[in-house]
Structure 1
Amino acid sequence: MKRKDIILFMIVGTGFNSKSGDEGFRLLAQKLYSTITKIYPHHVVFFASDRSKETIGYIEELFENDNDEFIFEEDYHIVPIDAIDDFNACFEVFESKIWEFDMDITKEYQIIMDYTSGTKTMSAAMACCGMFYNKDLISVGGDRTTGEVSVGTEIINYQNLYKIYDRFAVIRIRHNFNANRFMACIETLKRIVDLNIEKESFLNLCKAYYYWDNMDFENAYSFLTKVNINQRHFIEIAVKLKKNLKALGIIVNSKSENLKNCYALASLINNSKRRAAEYKYDDAIARLYRSFELIAQIKLSKYNLISSDIDIDVLLEKNVSEDFINYLKKMEEDGKIKIGLTADFLLLNELGDDLGKYYKEHENKIKDLTQKRNNSVLAHGLESQSNEDFENFLQVVVDLALKLDKDMKRFLNETEFSKFDLKLQYNQF
């Protein structure tokens, strides 16, 4: 593996702390020199104000005393930094040099940033910049008996920022989870190393909702059962998680087909709402259309009827008119009468069912909505759907769902995804 050239960033203070004048500059130069010789970088970038540039001349002298050279522009260069107490100005100066080296396609550089010297503002800006761009940060410690690090006792401390990066990662995960970007959560979780973070439960949580969002109920339930709801990271969503777990458990394990189907329907309606929240209206309406079909199919099953294989004998038992039976027979295919959404609801109307009556009462509106869906790019056309189209379709589907089962509001509530309360905000620019 090719060794990267080390570039050492150093902020240069004035030397005016406990010492003053020439002695202060020389003392600071000795400390900076010690760091340079310990790291042995390919090149040093000094960030210095006019007042602190004198220090660098003394560093050259120290190299000469050791029969070595420290040549301007070859071994080091100076970046002027005037606003030494302006955080943003300092940050931008450091950032511009990081970009300069990172964007160099001819070489690979390892940037090490020493934030020990300089004003407090310069140090804070360099530390933040290094953290932001994931660069190696160092500080110089040693014997501080006199209040400052004594010359000759310098120790270079590499700052391991994994805890900070992991905490930023958790905040991003919470935001991505609420935005239904579950795979992004999973990829971020893989990089977390802090053992104090409940990584496995987080992974299981995100996998559960990823599968649920894709209507894979069995995998969703399996992963959600592995989440330790009592862990601190999940306290705020624990109540909702329990409801979600209950809903998935019913879909997967209930012996009542009707109950399973109603929970699955509620999941599908909530699924459509999530797509609409992402401005994916064609996708959302495609899910509503399937919900619309499913409502009719669930209700027909209560009459012992299946849309894909209508039993004429059952229709005769229910006193369905001969004309309507003949209408359905025209849809016979491969020896089976297979009917679609419109015929489903017309059949329910023939049976005197409230869902069928609702369909007939709103037939023109529903036909308009379904026609728009048919013209969608995700159906048979190339038209895009709008939020208004979605809201109109959603109203019809929810009205029918509520008529389908008296407990549908509860089903919708229990299948609505858990969301973190994002009280802790991070900089979203």
Structure 2
Amino acid sequence: MTRILVVSVGGSCEPVVNACRELKPDFIYFVCSEGPKGSSLTIDGPGEPCGDEKKAIAHQLGLQLDAYRKIEVADPDDLNACYKAVREVSAEITARFGPDAEVVANYTGGTKTMSVALALFAIIEGNWNLTLNKGPRRDLVKVRAGDMPVLVGKQAVALTLLRNQAREFLKRYAYDMADAVLAQATVNQLLSGSYQDELLRARRLCQAFHSWDVFDHVRALELLQVTGGKRCAPFIEALLDISGKGRATGYEQVVDLIFNAHRRAAQGRYDDCVARLYRALEMLAQVRLQKEWGIETGNVELAKLPEHLRARYSQLADADGRIRLPLRKAYDLLAELGDPVGRLWQESQRPIVAALEGRNSSILAHGVQPLHRENYETYATVIEGFIRQALETLGVKTRCRQLPREELLEM
């Protein structure tokens, strides 16, 4: 594998020479300052630019012109300029040596700003090893002699940055994006045991809650059970209920849809949010009819209706002879059956119908207009309020809960 060294160069040549000799790179990029007083002269300038009767770095190392390149920075104290220079080096390395080249960054020399830029890039953007020359010190000025490059641990800094990025995605329930951020560490970095365990757990949780968010409850339950832990227990209980395996009331999916709608609203996806609230309203009627009356809205059996309703409902049969009830007719039937949810529907019908008509203009319904936050808030107040009142009327309490946001990283 080709080894590339990117080294910052300051006024002292010895650390740079020692790093190059120890690391034995196939090609070297010297990040230096330009001008008559810049560190560029110490690389291949004439005479003895390294002082103490020592020739330039390239001469000491016996480097040919095709074995190195100088990257000159006009202002070595400009962090943006230094960082941009290192980024350009990274792009050139990929283009010239391919993505699999081993890159080592050594930030011993150069101005503090140059060193910071090189170290930051190695941590944030570059899958680079980071090294620093260490040796005996007689004072706080610099290492005098006998210095050698050693690998620098960058995991804590890199993982903090990645966790902060993931946290921003989790604030919006973007579990898949948070997982992709954390994958940069688990896939591209050799992690110590504790860091690895922490990140793998966070990634499993991201994948579990993403599966839940897209209604793959089976996969979500599997991942949460594998992950385990006290803080996962309430979510596992809720999923078992949603799947009909726990202390299910039958209305868990209705409540889960409401929480899902809230997550879409947090992402500014108001059309999706309203679509989910509509489905929750529809599902409430379907579950109530099936659970209490044994009636399936997709295929109503006349024998299960009171005799005085059969003739009228038989007229609703389609060409296949099936009686299918849309949302409003399902609630009308509950009202005619004397069901408490039906009675509540009759009392609340007018604002609900008005809200439904507003929803019909959505591009995800029958119209072409996007819904905005104000539309969502109006719709949610009416529809969600009705659903919660209906469940309260029935005495239904579920163990459903909203999914975690940035607190996921501490679970």
- Write the mapping of 1:61-76 to structure 2, written as runs, cut at 5 A: 61=55, 68=62, 75-76=68-69
Residue 301 (structure 2) pairs with residue 311 (structure 1): yes
Write the deviation string for residues 63-105 of structure 1: whole angstroms up to 9, x where unpaired: 697694676x995546255464xxxx2x222222123334458
2: CA distance between counterparts of 1:198 and 1:166? 10
Matched residue pairs, number? 385
Which of 110, 118, 126 is the aligned partner of 2:118? Answer: 126
- Counterpart AA for 1:271: N
- Extract unaligned runs of 5+ from structure 2: none
2: CA distance between counterparts of 1:194 and 1:158? 14
Residue 237 (structure 2) pairs with residue 246 (structure 1): yes
TM normalised by structure 1 equals 0.75
- Write the mapping of 1:379-398 to structure 2, written as runs, cut at 5 A: 379-398=365-384
Pair 1:67–1:204, CA change in 2 (3 A): closer
Residue 22 (structure 2) pairs with residue 42 (structure 1): no
2: CA distance between counterparts of 1:336 and 1:8? 74
Which residue of the partner structure matches residue 182 of structure 1? 175
Which residue of the partner structure matches residue 99 of structure 1? 87
Q: 3-state SS of the aligned residue for 1:140?
A: strand
Which residue of the partner structure matches residue 140 of structure 1? 133
- Counterpart AA for 1:332: A
TM normalised by structure 2 equals 0.78
- Write the mapping of 1:14-413 to structure 2, written as runs, cut at 5 A: 28-38=12-22, 39-40=24-25, 42-48=27-33, 51=37, 53=39, 55-56=42-43, 57=45, 58-59=49-50, 61=55, 68=62, 75-77=68-70, 79-82=72-75, 84=77, 89=78, 91-104=79-92, 107-108=96-97, 112-134=104-126, 135-144=128-137, 148-151=142-145, 153-190=146-183, 191-192=185-186, 193-196=191-194, 197-230=197-230, 238=231, 241-254=232-245, 259=249, 261-300=250-289, 301-316=291-306, 322=308, 325-333=310-318, 334-406=320-392, 411=397
- Extract unaligned runs of 5+ from structure 1: 14-27, 231-237, 425-429
- Contact 1:402/1:409 (8 A) holds in 2: no
Which residue of the partner structure matches residue 24 of structure 1? none
Give the deviation of 1:306 after TM superposition: 2.2
Write the deviation string for residues 128-149 of structure 1: whole angstroms up to 9, x where unpaired: 2432332443221234467754
Pair 1:226–1:122, CA change in 2 (3 A): same
2: CA distance between counterparts of 1:409 and 1:212? 26
Write the deviation string for residues 40-61 of structure 1: whole angstroms up to 9, x where unpaired: 5635434237655464542582
RMSD (Å) for aligned C-alpha atoms: 3.6
- Contact 1:11/1:114 (8 A) holds in 2: no
Pair 1:204–1:36, CA change in 2 (3 A): closer
2: CA distance between counterparts of 1:270 and 1:412? 12
- Contact 1:267/1:412 (8 A) holds in 2: no
2: CA distance between counterparts of 1:140 and 1:279? 50
1: CA distance between counterparts of 2:317 and 2:214? 33
What is the identity percentage for the equivalent residue pairs of Structure 1 and Structure 2? 21
Give the deviation of 1:287 after TM superposition: 0.9
Give the deviation of 1:264 after TM superposition: 1.4
Pair 1:78–1:270, CA change in 2 (3 A): closer
- Contact 1:293/1:341 (8 A) holds in 2: yes
Pair 1:45–1:407, CA change in 2 (3 A): farther
2: CA distance between counterparts of 1:251 and 1:64? 69
